[in-house]
């Protein structure tokens, strides 16, 4: 017999882990609503060109990690699974003429992303992100608002010591001058550059600054930094972003080597790291301003900023510090029966309670009552509803498994009694 496994780089989220994700998704959705972001969905796959254009062909995400879908003969369009949500959201912004909506348009997506990367700890081929985008606001206040929202997410999720790394990467006015200087600097040191970095120097010199090669460390430290080459407008924008963050009491660390190697990115760039984990290339999340992207995907020039926070890495961070990722809620009550064979009565009573919005499990196996109650206690149900001969008079036994008490309750009052108990014990 063949034995099947989930594909490499993917994993099944078993119920306990799924509950952890659901909790994070709940926090993300709640924050999005509080900050005025409206949830939407985009397809899990797009025309590959949306990513090739929208993320940039000379990036790892597109060059090496794009999860391409083999074209079908009858439909030869080239598709790829989404490696991130920004490009798809911006594609949707243009397609649906959202520039006519009241600006900025604040949108959010929570869901799985796909990158055909080499799997390792904290790096999967299918992973989850909370993505938020504010399109149509040139900032700087919205930049600070987005960063503060991201930081609040980690605080509410319970991840300790999350640090904001912040930089400005200039714009089309000042970056070309800086890039020429950076390129000249690395060209002067070309003899010291590893093969891969030499190639990057031609395609995208900014990317040398986030090189993972240890031999690059000293060269990078001595390289010219964009923060020293900002034009007046970018400098003013950056100063204002920092002033807004200061005023909100959001701490950050300036990180001059933090870059986004794509032309459409501008000005504000930020990442979230666990303090002390900055060197491990394991950002919890990141984002930035992408003032050129809407135009690049066929819309009119529109400033925008957003972030993508990885949920998998938040759960890993929580596990690392020994924090509970989530608690699965046990059923409020188990419907049990004195007559093991009478599944009809048990199912009927359970349906009645479920119709009232209560979370109950019903014992459908023809087991002895003592065994039924044992299981109910083990799964931490608060109550057992025991069906016996009393049902003929319209009554059931309600056993409080935590207190060990039991009393007769009319069936017509049962849902109300349980609901009241659920409320006071915050069950179900």
Question: CB 88 → ligand AMP: shortest distance, Å?
Answer: 13
Question: CB 101 → ligand AMP: shortest distance, Å?
Answer: 26
Question: CB 138 → ligand AMP: shortest distance, Å?
Answer: 22
According to DSSP, the β-strands at 383-387 and 395-400 are antiparallel
Which is closer to ligand AMP, CB of 244 or CB of 313?
313
Which is closer to ligand AMP, CB of 152 or CB of 367?
152
Alpha-carbon torsion (168, 171, 257, 82), positive or negative: positive
Binding site residues, ligand AMP, CB under 6 A: 84, 115, 117, 122-124, 127, 129, 283-286, 308, 310, 312-313
Q: Please count the CA atoms within 13 angstroms of the CA of 262 that sit on its side-chain side.
A: 25
Which is closer to ligand AMP, CB of 285 or CB of 303?
285
Give which of 93, 62, 31 is closest to 295, Cα–Cα: 93
C-alpha span between 288 and 269 (Å, rounded): 4
Question: CB 128 → ligand AMP: shortest distance, Å?
Answer: 8
Q: Which residue has the tokens 């949306």?
A: 50
Which is closer to ligand AMP, CB of 79 or CB of 153?
153
* Those residues with Cβ within 8 angstroms of residue 82's Cβ, 6 or more apart along the chain or in another chain: 42, 43, 44, 45, 46, 51, 88, 113, 114
Burial class (CB in 10 A: 0-12, 13-18, 19+), 392: exposed
Which is closer to ligand AMP, CB of 170 or CB of 286?
286
C-alpha span between 125 and 235 (Å, rounded): 38
Question: CB 176 → ligand AMP: shortest distance, Å?
Answer: 24
Which is closer to ligand AMP, CB of 129 or CB of 227?
129
Q: Indicate the SS3 state at residue 200.
A: helix
Question: CB 114 → ligand AMP: shortest distance, Å?
Answer: 9
**DSSP H or E stretch at residue 164:** strand 162-168
In this structure, what token pair is assigned to residue 136? 């149509």
Is residue 369 a contact partner of residue 405, using CB atoms and an 8 Å limit?
no
Which is closer to ligand AMP, CB of 112 or CB of 224?
112
Is residue 238 a contact partner of residue 252, using CB atoms and an 8 Å limit?
no
C-alpha span between 242 and 348 (Å, rounded): 62
Give which of 169, 263, 168, 178 is closest to 229, Cα–Cα: 178
Give which of 157, 54, 42 is closest to 108, Cα–Cα: 42
Which is closer to ligand AMP, CB of 139 or CB of 310?
310
Residue whose C-beta lies closest to ligand AMP = 310
Which is closer to ligand AMP, CB of 129 or CB of 395?
129
């Amino acid at each position: 017999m063949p034995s099947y496994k989930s594909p490499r780089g993917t994993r099944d989220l078993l119920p306990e882990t799924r509950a952890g994700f659901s909790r994070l998704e709940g926090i993300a959705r709640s924050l999005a609503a509080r900050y005025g972001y409206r949830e939407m969905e985009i397809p899990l796959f797009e025309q590959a060109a949306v990513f090739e254009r929208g993320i940039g062909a000379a990036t790892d995400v597109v060059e090496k990690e794009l999860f391409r879908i083999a074209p079908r003969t009858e439909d030869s369009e080239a598709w790829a699974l989404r490696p991130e949500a920004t490009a798809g959201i911006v594609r949707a912004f243009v397609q649906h003429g959202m520039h006519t909506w009241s600006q900025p348009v604040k949108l959010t997506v929570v869901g799985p992303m796909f990158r055909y990367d080499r799997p390792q700890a904290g790096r999967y081929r299918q992973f989850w992100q909370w993505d938020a985008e504010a399109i149509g606001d040139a900032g700087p206040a919205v930049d600070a608002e987005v960063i503060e929202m991201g930081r609040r997410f980690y605080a509410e999720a319970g991840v300790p010591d999350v640090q904001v790394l912040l930089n400005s990467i200039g714009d089309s006015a000042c970056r070309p001058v800086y890039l020429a200087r950076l390129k000249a600097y690395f060209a002067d040191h070309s003899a010291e550059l590893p093969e891969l970095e030499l190639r990057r120097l031609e395609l995208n010199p900014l990317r040398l600054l986030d090189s993972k090669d240890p031999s690059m460390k000293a060269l990078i430290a001595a390289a010219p930094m964009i923060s020293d080459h900002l034009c007046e407008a970018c400098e003013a924008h950056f100063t204002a972003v920092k002033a807004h963050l200061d005023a909100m009491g959001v701490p950050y660390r300036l990180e001059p080597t933090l870059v986004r190697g794509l032309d459409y990115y501008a000005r504000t760039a930020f990442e979230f790291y666990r303090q002390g984990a900055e060197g491990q290339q394991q950002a919890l999340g990141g984002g930035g301003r992408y003032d050129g992207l809407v135009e690049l995907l066929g819309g009119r020039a529109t400033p925008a900023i957003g972030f993508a926070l990885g949920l998998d890495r938040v759960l890993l961070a929580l596990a690392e510090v020994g924090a509970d990722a989530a608690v699965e809620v046990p059923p409020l009550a188990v419907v049990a029966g004195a007559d093991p064979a009478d599944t009809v009565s048990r199912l009927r009573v359970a349906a009645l309670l479920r119709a009232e919005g209560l979370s109950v499990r019903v014992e459908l196996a023809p087991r002895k009552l003592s065994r039924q109650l044992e299981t109910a206690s083990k799964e931490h149900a608060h109550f057992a509803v025991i069906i016996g001969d009393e049902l003929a008079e319209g009554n059931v036994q309600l056993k409080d498994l935590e207190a060990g008490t039991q009393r007769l309750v009319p069936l017509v009052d049962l849902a109300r009694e349980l609901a009241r108990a659920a409320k006071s014990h915050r069950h179900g």
